[in-house]
Amino acid sequence: INAKLEILHSLKANVGRLSDLPAKVEELLALKPSVDAMKETIRSLQESVKKYESTMKLVTENDEEVKILRTEVGALQATVSEQTVMIEQLQTNINSTEQYSRRCNMEIHGISYVNEEDLGATITDLAHKLNISDFNSAEVVVCHRLRSRLEGAPPILVQITSV
């Protein structure tokens, strides 16, 4: 009998616990929408983390590309600076060369224009009038009139072989 009594007590305790079970099941069922909402929030957070990681990867790649481009721009700026210096030197050389080539040129103003004029003869006559004794008409390379910028006779350009 004692054994049966103990079994009954144990069953009664289990029944007591089982009687609380429907209330606890109801509490758990009431929590189900909250758990579902939490699951959805976790899924949303996981997607956000994936997007964040993707964005960070893109930012890192862009940073690396910007570094490469900055290096290239620096190299190009150095090249442009070098070429600018070279262009300035070449321009100076061209100006010097042009000035040197013009040292044999004379521009003569004030000689009236005559139709069908012979500028070679005019220059020879001018040299005699100016008492230039060592003038040789064979030393004249080019002799022609320039365009007149002002009213009056256009100037004459004479290029000689040497100064």
Q: Each residue of 37-83: pLDDT tens digit?
A: 999 999 999 999 999 999 999 999 999 999 999 999 999 999 999 99
Whether 153 and 77 map to the same domain: the answer is no
- Regarding whether 129 and 76 lie in a shared domain, the answer is no
Instruction: Clarify whether residues 78 and 151 are in a common domain.
Output: no
* 131 DSSP assignment: T
pLDDT given at position 40? 95
Q: What is the pLDDT of residue 18?
A: 72
Looking at the structure, do residues 32 and 11 belong to the same domain, yes or no?
A: yes
**Percent share of the chain, pLDDT over 90:** 57
Q: Provide the token pair at 162.
A: 């040497």
Whether the model clears a pTM of 0.75, i.e. scores above it, the answer is no
Could you tell me which of 154, 127, 131 has the C-alpha nearest to residue 139?
127
Q: Residues 58, 124: one domain?
A: no
How high is the pLDDT of residue 123? 92
106 vs 13, which has greater pLDDT?
106
Choose between 58 and 132: higher pLDDT: 58
29 and 90 assigned to the same domain: yes
Contacts of 159 (CB under 8 A, 6+ apart): 104, 105, 106, 140, 141, 142, 143
Please report where in the chains the tokens 């899924």 appear, as a residue: 43
Which domain does 80 fall in, by range?
1-103
114-125 confidence digits (pLDDT tens): 888 999 999 999
Tokens for 28, please give them.
Answer: 């758990």
Report the domain count for the chain: 2
Which of 1-10, 15-24, 58-67 shows the highest mean pLDDT? 58-67
Task: Provide the 3-class DSSP secondary structure of residue 149.
Answer: coil
- Cα-only R_g, the chain: 53
Alpha-carbon span 143 to 128, nearest angstrom: 17
How many whole angstroms separate alpha carbon 47 and alpha carbon 53? Answer: 10
* Claim to verify: residue 141 and residue 82 sit in the same structural domain: no
Sheet with 140-145, side-by-side order of all strands: 105-108, 156-160, 140-145
pLDDT at 56 (0 to 100): 97
Domain match, 88 and 72 both: yes
Phi, psi dihedrals of residue 111, rounded to the nearest 5°: -95, 125
User: What does the DSSP 8-state code read for residue 151?
Assistant: S
Helix residue ranges, H only, the chain: 2-101, 119-129
